[in-house]
Every structure is written in C-alpha cells, then in structure tokens.
Amino acid sequence: MNPERLRYTEDHEWIGEQDGLYVVGITDFAEEQLGSITYVELPEEGRDLHAGEDAGLVESVMEERDVYAPVSGRVVEINHVIEDSPEKVNQDPYGNGWFFKMEGVNPSDVEDLMDVRAYRLYCLDNAD
C-alpha cells in the first residue's frame, strides 16, 4: 500500500482500499515505537468491528499495545503470515505486514480519518 494514499488514526493504524476491500495495519511510526515485534493477535474472520473497537494486539520486546478498528466493518481476511512471522510488521508495515481486511466499510468514514500530511503533523506534535 502506498502510505501517501492511506488514511490514519490517532492510535497509529492505517487503512486503505484495495480491490473493493479495506486493508488495515499499523504505521511505520507505531512499529518503530514498539521496537522488535514478537507477537501479533488478530481478530477472527467474520467478526463485525465498530470504529475504535479493540481488534487485536501487538507485543514487542518493549511493550504491548492494542490494535483498534479504524472504521466499522466486517473482518473478511487476516494476515496469517504475521502470526507466524511477526517481524514482517517491522520489515514492511505497509506491505506484507498488514493485519486484516474489511468489507462493509462506509467510504466516508475512511475519508474522515487523517490524510498522510495531517498524520505526519500529528506524529510530530505527539512525539515523546
């Protein structure tokens, strides 16, 4: 996924449309803050999620953090690769490190999220 075309949440998830589905992952900023990711817990396929709902977990050598649904929709596919190889999230957060795909998403809900410019400013304003 091209980071320039994605939308972002304040919790550092990204979302982008691909072939009629919406792909979700965590940002490069988030994975850098976490450090080496050692475990990923993903939602079940078929699960209906509401925007802001806890959708998974990421653990690293430094901490663990929840992953939230950026918008409402149904999980139709999860990335089994990162369950077995969580380091893929660190290596390629916008590509092979995606978390799950959703359908039934309202495109206007996605558009309401931050664009890349707003997200970069948000990260600068909230850097530790």
pLDDT value of position 83: 94
Instruction: Annotate 48-87 with DSSP letters as a single string.
Output: EE-TT-EEEEEEESS-EEEEE-SS-EEEEEE-HHHHH-TH
How far apart are alpha carbons 81 and 79 in whole angstroms?
Answer: 5
∠ CA 77-101-27, rounded to 5°: 130
- In the predicted model, is pLDDT for residue 18 greater than 70? yes
pLDDT value of position 127: 66
For residues 24-34, average pLDDT? 94
pLDDT tens digits for range 39-84: 999 999 999 999 999 999 999 988 999 999 999 999 999 999 999 9
pLDDT value of position 126: 77
Q: Contact at 8 Å (CB) between 121 and 8?
A: no
pLDDT tens digits for range 1-13: 999 999 999 999 9
- In the predicted model, is pLDDT for residue 33 greater than 60? yes
pTM, rounded to two decimals: 0.95
The CATH fold of domain 3-125: OB fold (Dihydrolipoamide Acetyltransferase, E2P) (2.40.50)
Q: In which residue are the tokens 């409402």 written?
A: 72
How far apart are alpha carbons 68 and 53 in whole angstroms?
Answer: 5
Q: How confident is the model at residue 92 (pLDDT cuts 50, 70, 90)?
A: very high
- In the predicted model, is pLDDT for residue 128 greater than 90? no
Query: Among 11, 31, 4, 7, which Cα is nearest to 86's?
Result: 31
